Structure 1
Amino acid sequence: MTRIDPSRDDTRARIHPAWAVAAVAFVALLAAAGFRAAPGALMVPLNEEFGWSTSVMSLAVSVNLLLYGLTAPFAAALMDRFGIRQVVATALTLVALGAGGSVVMTASWQLLVFWGVLIGLGTGSMALVFAATIANRWFVRRRGLVMGILTAGSATGQLIFLPPVAVLAEDTGWRAASLVIAAAALLAVPLVWFVLRSHPSDRGVLPYGADAPTYSAPPAVTGGAVKRALEGLAYASKRRSFWALAIAFAICGATTNGLIGIHFIPSAHDHGMATTTAAGLLAVVGVFDIVGTIASGWLTDKFDPRKLLVFYYVFRGVGLLLLPWLLAETIHPSIVLFVVIYGLDWVATVPPTAALCRELFGERGTIVFGWVFAAHQIGAAIAALAAGVIRDIFGEYTYAWWGGAALCVIAAVLSIAVKRAKTPTAV
């Protein structure tokens, strides 16, 4: 391991290397987010070409979301064991293989393989535990802000990819859109390999904001990744606060990725709105998601994370309750207001949730957050499938939106019930 030179700490260096690492992590998260924007825009053309039902396509997305979450805690342990850049470069390659390979699909089971398994494993190996790992290892000061910025990387990816993916899918074909997503993931790999490092000591510096006389580096990781991930779950599962955070975050996933992320465009299409128009509205969610998430990171550094979570979930629930009356054939001010508000709230829950995991579980915090994030994606997977079934049974999404609103109330209650630690837990 490289010897740390205190003279290169951020108090003396003009630009601390942590910011370069954070910038590349942002780009990697942005590239991986290409597929997060795709299913909603591709479901209609896939239905038109193959005749696959909404339930079948929702199942593939559910598999993706499930693996996206369940892979996360193991990926966090793998990053501890083998290094960040090795795991992230492999993950981006899997995303590219899944998106690029999908252009040869001829049967619905292949959708499960490409969209579900390959892309699910790839995106899950990065996900938000990657952002938490960067923030926790490379920063002592500004952790909440950095976590907010990195979380916004996915929103930025949605903003960048969703409109062209929708246009390509409608004008050129869904295969061209899939290839664009694959190319973006591959282009990020060299940048990740040459810039990312696992620890500040690999660059011969302390974490940003660390005090040289008092800072002690974390102990070297030993043991297998699977063992560490399962030990983290066993440790956390004995605490009620873990279950409160996990269930609330599962509801977060259900009401974002599972409902709006996957089914907003098809629902708007049911009301007569053009797919590209609905995709544009969802991209606006991405714009304000960036603002909301960064602001949430800043607020998390200053206020009680539990109270922030209560506000976010109540805010979201009101939006879902009103959504059935807001969708129409054309854009009007009320639906614009909805996407702005929902965008500000989209993943604003991430910085306070990650902060609570770090506070309650100390050095285990990143792996525990990985399990909390797994719950997020389990919720998203269930909601994505359930909403598709509701649409097929009732011919509309209204009951799905109202169900999501009710769940948000439960998440708000669970969030305020979390008991904060008097001092951060140490290992």
Structure 2
Amino acid sequence: MAEETNKCAAATEKGAQKKGGFHYAHLIVLSCIVITCLPCALVLSCAGIFFTPVSDFFGVPKASFTLYFSILNLAMMATLPIGGKLMATKDARLVLSVSTILCGLGMFGMASCQEIWQFYLVGIVLGVGVAPLIYLAVPTLINAWCVKRVGFYVGLCMAFTGIGGVIFNTVGTSIIQSGAEGWRQAYFIFGIIILVGTLPFTLFVVRSKPSDKGLLPYGADEKDAEKDEAASAGASGAAQQGVMAADAMHMPAFWAIVAFCGVITLNQTVYQFLSSYALSFSETLPEIAAASGVIASSAMLGQAIGKVFLGSVSDRSVRLGAICGIVAGVAGVLLMWAFPAILVLLLAGAFLFGVVYAMTTVETPLLVRSVFGSRDYSNIYSRVSMVGSLMSAVAAVFWSLVIDSAGGYGLMFALSIVCMVVCLALALFALAHKPEAQKE
């Protein structure tokens, strides 16, 4: 105990020296940005640019090739509980570096496939590799390293899945169009970018927790600057405050967040059909159909800005963050549904829908932290995320069936609004049913 106290006191001294200046937590944030911008964006956000060229090269329906992406999501779902346990008990450098290597090797594997079934096997490798990176790395590291501006930093880091997508979709498309097998070169180059760009950070910069560097979390020294030992003990206690996963799973709030994660992921997938919605007006509103790509980009911009916005709002109130996200999403859907002929309103609607899209990777982890604390965070969040990953594997098929039904896009938008209202109710229920230990 004396040794622990000395460690905390030393951490307090070092933390105090960092007040108002550079803190190692900023390098952790940078590492998280690299993780989301490179492996996460290249594996997930850029997957779509390969669907047509690879399908055409092998002469198969797109569904035959894109099945690998569903397998990837199922592999993520199966990996998350193990990943959560590893992030909680092992060195984050090891877990995230192995995950990065799997993503890089997976890209090399995609470049080398000679039969469609081989893509399915590689999809498993990519799913196992990317799961800890997209679901666990950012919330777990930011949660451990920061006691202030947690929401802002989570939102900022997750925004780079979209920013990376914008950058590398353009780069990848250019490489793909360079030749008949340009898609192979694109996959190979993406693999190199993942390994060369990410491993230096996961190996040499990332640390699991501030005490690994003899520091307090960012912002902890500002709470009680005049009482070093008290601040140290308080920060130490805060880091351990919360509920264990085994106990959380017996609480209604846990299942409310699980349902929230599943439904918000289902709703997020509507984004994939916004371009198709615009193209459905080819006969009646050709100028709207011609802007289908711009509409998708508007939603992606809304997603990137929305992540930072919702994170910042949630630093003040997670409840308010959830309300803002859902209100933006409902307003966006109503604009797109009611005014398809007015391009500026259609773009505004797509942008606002991007904000609710951002809730999937920002509001979900912040809900878990707010309701269950930090004590067993990675194990709880990994279990919640399993449902989101499973939903990702089936959501596109669900919305395709809805669109092909008699209700068409109108029914899709109506169900989207229902999904968002349900999500808000679930979020508010979870926040209202925090365990007693988590109520101030």
TM-score after normalising by structure 2: 0.80
- Report the CA distance shift for 1:422/1:235 in structure 2 as closer, same or farther (over 3 A): closer
- The 3 A distance-change label for structure 1 pair 104 and 335 is farther
Is 1:77 equivalent to 2:89 in the alignment?
Answer: no
- Structure 1 match to 2:70: 62
Contact 1:102 1:111 in 2 (8 A): yes
Whether 1:341 and 2:336 are equivalent positions in the alignment is no
The one-letter amino acid of 1:92's match is: T
Structure 1, unmatched stretches of 5+, are 220-230
Q: Distance in 1 between matches of 2:409 and 2:177?
A: 23
Distance 1:12 1:324 in 2: 51
Q: Is the aligned partner of 1:154 residue 2:166?
A: no
**How many Å separate the matches in 1 of 2:383 and 2:323?**
21
Could you say if the C-alpha distance between residues 283 and 166 of structure 1 is closer, same or farther in structure 2, counting changes exceeding 3 Å?
farther
Contact 1:55 1:385 in 2 (8 A): no
Q: Which amino acid aligns with 2:183?
A: W
Q: Which residue number corresponds to residue 223 of structure 1?
A: none
Which of residues 354, 365, 385 is equivalent to 1:354?
Answer: 365
1:9 aligned residue:
15
1:169-208 deviations in Å (ceiling 9; x for gaps): 3454322332232122112112221111111112121111
Q: Which has the higher contact order (CA 8 A, sep 6+)?
A: 1
Of the three residues 174, 191, 203, the one matched with 1:193 is: 203
Task: Call closer, same or farther: CA 1:366–1:423 in 2, change over 3 Å.
Answer: farther
- Tell me which structure has the larger Cα radius of gyration: 2
CA deviations 1:93-148 (Å, max 9, x no partner) are 1111112211222333222222x311111110212321111112111122222222
> Matched residues in 2 for 1:123 and 1:349: separation?
16
Residue 29 of structure 1 aligns with an amino acid whose one-letter code is: T
Which residue of structure 2 aligns with residue 228 of structure 1?
A: none
Which residue, 108, 119, 124 being the options, matches 1:117? 124
SS across alignment from 1:206: coil
Structure 1, 83-92 or 40-49: larger mean CA deviation: 40-49
- Using the TM superposition, name which of 80-89 and 362-371 deviates more: 362-371
Alignment size in residue pairs: 409
Q: What do residues 71-113 of structure 1 show as CA deviations (whole Å, max 9, x unaligned)?
A: 2342232122221111111111111111221122233322222
User: 1:298 maps to what in 2?
Assistant: 312
Query: 1:176 and 1:16 mapped to 2: Cα distance?
Result: 40
Corresponding letter in the other structure for 1:147: V
Q: Does residue 129 of structure 1 match 2:136?
A: yes
Instruction: Look up the match of 2:47.
Output: 39
Partners of 2:132 and 2:172 in 1: CA distance: 23
1:268-347 pair list within 5 angstroms: 281-303=295-317, 305-317=318-330, 319-320=332-333, 332-347=343-358
2:88–2:378 contact (8 Å) kept in structure 1:
no
Separation (CA, whole Å) in 1 of partners of 2:437 and 2:163: 32
| 1:179 paired to 2:188 | yes
Question: Offset of 1:292 from its aligned partner?
Answer: 1.3
Residues 349 and 106 from structure 1, CA distance in 2 versus in 1: closer, same or farther, beyond 3 angstroms? closer
Q: Structure 1 83/292 Cα, relative in aligned 2: closer, same or farther at 3 Å?
A: same
Distance 2:415 2:207 in 1: 43
Does the 8 Å contact 1:297/1:352 carry over to 2?
A: yes
1:102 pairs with 2:110: yes
Specify the SS of the correspondent of 1:205.
coil
Residue equivalent to 2:240: none
Unaligned runs of 5+ in 2: 222-227, 238-242
Deviations 1:376-399, CA, capped at 9 Å, x for gaps: 2222211033345667899x8776
Distance 1:275 1:82 in 2: 51
User: 400-409 or 376-385, which moves further after superposition?
Assistant: 400-409
Q: CA deviation digits over 1:18-40, x for unaligned, max 9?
A: 11111112112211221222232
CA distance in 2, matches of 1:348, 1:153: 14
* SS of match in other structure, 1:144: helix
Structure with the higher helix share, 1 or 2: 2
Of 365-374 and 403-412, more deviation after overlay is shown by: 403-412
**Identity of paired residues, percent?**
22
1:205-224 matches, within 5 Å, as 205-211=215-221, 212-214=228-230, 215-216=232-233
Distance in 2 (alpha carbons) for counterparts of 1:335 and 1:111 = 37
